[in-house]
Structure 1
Amino acid sequence: VLGIGLAEEIVRVFLTTPFEGGRHARRLALIFGGPQRRG
């Protein structure tokens, strides 16, 4: 159980942290309609 202040801080950090791409970029491209490969 988190206090409201800590929960707000966690959300603030999550929303303001830049996306780094990397290993997640390919997965997000598939989820959001990126190029589809079948093989």
Structure 2
Amino acid sequence: MKIRNSLKSLIKRHRGNRIVRRKGRVYIINKTNRRYKARQG
């Protein structure tokens, strides 16, 4: 999992990427290609 200050550029890398808020943190998850995961901050 990548930890980044800004997730905007990472969302565009794959069309299956979704932005999710959990417990005050922002995540990128991808159901089809699970390699793309990221957390903000």
Scaled by the length of structure 1, what TM-score is found?
0.20
Higher RCO (CA-CA < 8 Å; seq separation 6+): 2
Higher helix share: 1
Instruction: Select the structure of larger CA radius of gyration.
Output: 1
Higher strand share: 2
